[in-house]
């Protein structure tokens, strides 16, 4: 049992039903009940600890006769409201939020793995996830096997008695490969191995992995969920039993989100459906334009028929997001000059916000490895990742055109 209290009457676990649409859940889920002082918005409960009226109340709490908060590391009303909202959006029994997407990944893996365990990780993934699995976990006796995201036969053959989980992103970073979720879940079920999906690029609006039988879904709330490039957060969602085990470890490790960041996450989620609809529209428009430009060698976007996983993406995703990766027909230097001529996006290492962001992937994330290291990881010298914001698509496209025409 977790020593963190379960949700009280003001924040009941809300499993979405057919009577509520996604936008309604984005606004209202997790925020039911009367709030203090008649507040319409969820208050920021900015406290490190919670006082008891007397020793009897403390005793009632210790003997589980009442449910309330005790200490900030174990719970906060603002954060519980955000967790309940995320659980509703992911169709999950429970959710847990963290101070970053990376802390959601690391805490979950530490909770599920022990020395001698083995895990399978797809090689197209966030570099820090790969680094944590192949270096730090290895130090503590956990072995990681890397495999291509769509090599389902290889995934199945890599499973052995000590294999505990399969972790993959979908879509992946930076090439936006889309994993066939039913295929991976089938492998996991047959072998008794848990399946974790990092669905940051898809978001719950475009894809809900738990609906396909995935055991746990991870998001970087820093990206589309917060949506305004002004907070760091992460989440894990799934069955209550699994989430509670991770919650216990979170209380030990102390990786808890600040209540004000939780409030910003709640505020961002209220416009989540509207923003995602615009990101999806803009992403498709930009990808289609880039595919027709002679200075673009190749476009990676799962909403394009040319993408190798287009059929899988079409079958299991509602939309394809605002991230478009593409290779400039030129050199490393050409791609950097192209980026520098752009007027709308800022050069920054993130995605999913209302502002467009752009980066040369090799320069931003892998520069210290050098050209040989980039190519070993499959990162092209002139690979550009563009996170399309919610600006007008025609302005974004005109800006891309003026710079591409000068490559």
Residues designated catalytic = 73, 126, 198, 223
User: Taking the C-alpha atoms of 7, 9, 11 and 17 in order, what is their torsion angle to the nearest 10 degrees?
Assistant: 100
Neighbouring C-alpha atoms within 13 Å toward the C-beta of 148:
8
Q: How many CB atoms lie within 10 A of CB 202?
A: 29
Q: How many CB atoms lie within 10 A of CB 83?
A: 29
Phi, psi of 360 (to 5 degrees): -85, 120
Angle at 218 between CA 214 and CA 221, to 5 degrees: 150
Query: Hey, is 337 helix, strand or coil?
Result: helix
Residue 280 tokens read as: 């999806």
Beta carbons of 5 and 69 less than 8 angstroms apart = yes
Rounded CA separation 268/180 (Å): 30
Rounded CA separation 78/89 (Å): 17
Rounded CA separation 371/56 (Å): 66
Beta carbons of 96 and 241 less than 8 angstroms apart = no
**Greatest CA separation for the chain:** 75
The contacts of residue 361 (CB under 8 Å, 6+ apart) are: 174, 325, 379, 380, 383, 384, 385
Rounded CA separation 163/283 (Å): 37
């Amino acid at each position: 049992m977790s020593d963190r209290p379960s949700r009280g009457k003001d924040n009941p676990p809300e499993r979405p039903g057919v009577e509520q649409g996604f936008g309604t859940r984005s606004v209202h889920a997790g925020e039911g009940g009367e709030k203090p002082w008649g507040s319409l918005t969820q208050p920021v409960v900015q406290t490190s600890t919670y006082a008891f009226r007397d020793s009897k109340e403390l005793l009632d709490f210790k003997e589980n006769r009442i449910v309330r908060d005790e200490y900030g590391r174990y719970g906060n009303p603002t954060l519980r409201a955000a967790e309940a909202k995320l659980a509703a959006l992911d169709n999950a029994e429970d959710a847990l939020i963290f101070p970053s997407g990376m802390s959601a990944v690391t805490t979950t893996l530490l909770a599920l793995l022990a020395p001698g365990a083995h895990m399978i990780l797809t090689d197209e993934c966030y570099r820090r996830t790969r680094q944590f699995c192949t270096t730090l976990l290895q130090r503590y006796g956990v072995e990681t096997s890397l495999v291509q995201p769509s090599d389902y036969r290889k995934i199945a053959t890599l499973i052995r008695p000590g294999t505990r989980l399969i972790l993959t992103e979908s879509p992946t970073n930076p090439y936006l490969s889309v994993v066939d979720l039913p295929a991976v879940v089938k492998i996991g079920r047959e072998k008794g191995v848990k399946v974790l999906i990092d669905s940051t690029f898809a978001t719950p609006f475009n894809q809900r992995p738990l609906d396909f039988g995935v055991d746990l879904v991870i998001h970087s709330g820093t990206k589309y969920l917060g949506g305004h490039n002004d907070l760091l957060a992460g989440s894990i969602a799934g069955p209550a039993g699994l989430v509670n085990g991770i919650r216990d470890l979170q209380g030990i490790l102390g990786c808890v989100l600040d209540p004000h960041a939780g409030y910003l996450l709640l505020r961002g989620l209220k416009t989540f459906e509207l923003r995602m609809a615009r990101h999806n529209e803009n992403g498709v428009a930009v990808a289609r334009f880039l595919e027709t430009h002679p200075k673009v060698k190749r476009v990676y976007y799962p909403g394009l028929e040319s993408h190798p996983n287009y059929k899988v993406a079409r079958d299991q995703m509602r939309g394809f997001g605002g991230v478009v990766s593409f290779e400039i027909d030129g050199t490393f230097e050409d791609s950097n000059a192209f980026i520098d001529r752009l007027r709308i996006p800022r050069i920054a290492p993130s995605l999913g916000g209302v502002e467009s962001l752009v980066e040369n992937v090799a320069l931003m994330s892998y520069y210290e490895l050098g050209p040989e290291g980039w190519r070993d990881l499959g990162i092209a010298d002139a690979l550009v990742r563009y996170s399309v914001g919610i600006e007008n698509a025609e302005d974004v496209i005109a800006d891309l055109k003026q710079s591409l025409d000068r490559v």
